[in-house]
């Protein structure tokens, strides 16, 4: 009789645009049992018209989470860090952080993007596989050099957010493919920083750290920090540190031909490939080739997700109207009659002072109702989100030449069962929802693979399927979905 495997205890740090979370995972009998042991809100801070991340606050809260995990189960076997992409911190010659990292919600990258010719933008895509976007690290970095030369002149190292946090914990300067690919400075075909891009923009290759690979130890927590926190000197494992990549690794699919939506503040809509697709079709349709776990590629569209409804809910709360998410859905379902539509990816909704006013203005400019009551507005947001998924799915099928009957929805947004059913109805695809904690799950599963000496995506997904059940949403016939589709297509074309 085989001896049972020892229990492996790992901590996954899942730092997103809206929260900082420490998740304790125990791997036992080829299942992972997860527990969120520390969670606090996170948001960029407006200082003088620029948005920054309070990285010291984030680091401090991560330390609290690590301490709590240690008190729950004793020694921790390892930790791994996942965060959002594109943002970074700058270190000086003495390894000191020069300033709080800027947030991609700033518009400074757009100032650079608008100066580049169509041919130059095309070359940047073809040399990296990454779609041009004002939030990309490349354009943020060039904007800092232009607008804040005193800061850029002192910078010796560019560390992506998870790499910066890793450095704070361990002193190590390393990156890994998934987070590095969001910079638009890495060539996703050879998984190294692009000499062509760096040469074109006069960037010093020494500013970017070496690339590590998944399932190996990056470094150990600093001895002094471990003593201060009263914990063991645990290793930090190289996970897919871009939260989207970890979430996709946790898609509980048995086949490689999968369609997914990683649902949160952003909706990452895509499929998984063995190699990038870099051609005119992908470029024109606005898709990007980000690197995934264990050498995979995620062909995806970075689309606005729950950001719009989150902003509306916060705005209502400031007015004294506090609604739970269940109440928001209940309000939407009271709406009767035609529903206005918006393009969630229109720049008007990127970061307006008032999201409610932005929606009303947009509807007026597109010849729709402007005196929107709250139920109509919320329903418009949810339906428009589902339509944006439908168009993206159609584009993916055109690019890959494949059809997909099922879509996996992962991430925190899947808790909205109303939206899941709406997606099924409007797209005509069966929705499999789960796991909600996909980023943490992918992070933990890669760590477990390191400890079990079983590296690879197949092992990760076996763990996920053993650990979580999915909920199925079958599409219902939705007459209005077809009637309103031409309007949404027209709105989306206006934003090309």
Comparing CA positions, the residue from 179, 165, 160 lying closest to residue 63 is: 165
**Alpha carbons 114 and 109: distance in angstroms, whole number:** 9
**Alpha carbons 331 and 304: distance in angstroms, whole number:** 22
Both ends of the chain: CA-CA distance in Å? 63
The question of whether 14 is a catalytic residue gets the answer: no
Q: Which of 243, 343, 346, 395 is catalytic?
A: 243
CB atoms within 10 A of CB 354: 12
Nearest 10 degrees: Cα torsion 438, 439, 445, 451: -160
- On whether the CB atoms of residues 431 and 282 are closer than 8 A, the answer is no
Q: Which residues are catalytic?
A: 243
């Amino acid at each position: 009789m085989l001896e049972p495997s020892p229990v492996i205890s790992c901590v996954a740090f899942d730092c997103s645009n809206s929260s900082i979370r420490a998740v304790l995972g125990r791997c036992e009998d080829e299942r992972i049992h997860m527990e969120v042991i520390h969670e606090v809100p996170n948001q960029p801070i407006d200082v003088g018209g620029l948005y920054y991340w309070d990285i010291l606050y984030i680091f401090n809260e991560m330390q609290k989470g690590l301490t709590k995990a240690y008190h729950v189960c004793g020694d921790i076997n390892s930790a791994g860090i996942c965060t959002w992409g594109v943002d970074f911190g700058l270190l000086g010659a003495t390894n000191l952080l020069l300033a709080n990292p800027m947030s991609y919600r700033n518009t400074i990258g757009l100032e650079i993007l608008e100066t580049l010719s169509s041919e130059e933008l095309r070359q940047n895509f073809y040399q990296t596989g990454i779609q041009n976007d004002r939030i990309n690290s490349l354009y943020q970095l060039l904007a800092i050099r232009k607008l804040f030369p005193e800061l850029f002149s002192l910078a010796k190292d560019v560390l992506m957010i998870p790499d910066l946090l890793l450095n704070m914990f361990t002193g190590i300067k390393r990156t890994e493919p998934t987070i590095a690919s969001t910079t638009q400075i890495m060539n996703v075909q050879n998984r190294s920083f692009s000499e062509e891009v760096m040469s074109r923009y006069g960037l010093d290759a020494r500013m970017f750290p070496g690339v590590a690979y998944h399932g190996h130890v990056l470094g150990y927590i600093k001895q002094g920090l471990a003593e201060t926190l009263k914990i063991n000197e645990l290793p930090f494992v190289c996970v897919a540190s871009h939260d989207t990549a970890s979430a996709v690794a946790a898609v509980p699919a048995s086949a490689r031909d999968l369609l997914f939506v990683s649902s949160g503040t952003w909706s990452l809509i895509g499929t998984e490939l063995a190699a990038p697709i870099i051609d005119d079709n992908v470029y024109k349709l606005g898709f990007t080739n980000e690197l995934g776990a264990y050498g995979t590629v995620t062909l995806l569209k970075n689309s606005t997700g729950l950001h719009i409804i989150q902003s509306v809910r916060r705005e209502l709360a400031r007015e004294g109207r506090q609604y739970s998410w269940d109440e928001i859905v209940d309000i939407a379902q009271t709406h009767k009659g035609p529903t206005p539509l918006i393009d969630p990816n229109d720049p008007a909704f990127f970061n307006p002072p008032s999201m409610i006013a932005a929606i009303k203005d947009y509807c007026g400019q597109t010849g729709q109702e402007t005196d929107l009551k709250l139920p109509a507005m919320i329903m418009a947001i949810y339906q428009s989100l589902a339509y944006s998924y439908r168009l993206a799915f159609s584009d993916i099928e055109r690019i890959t030449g494949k059809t997909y009957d099922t879509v996996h929805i992962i991430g925190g947004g899947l808790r909205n069962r109303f939206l899941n059913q709406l997606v099924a109805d409007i797209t005509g695809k069966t929705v499999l929802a789960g796991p909600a904690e996909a980023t943490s799950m992918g992070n933990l599963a890669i760590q477990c693979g390191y400890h079990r000496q079983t590296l690879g995506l197949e092992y990760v997904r076996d763990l996920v399927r053993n650990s979580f059940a999915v909920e199925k949403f079958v599409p219902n016939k939705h007459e209005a979905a077809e009637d309103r589709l031409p309007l949404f297509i027209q709105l989306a074309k206006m934003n090309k």
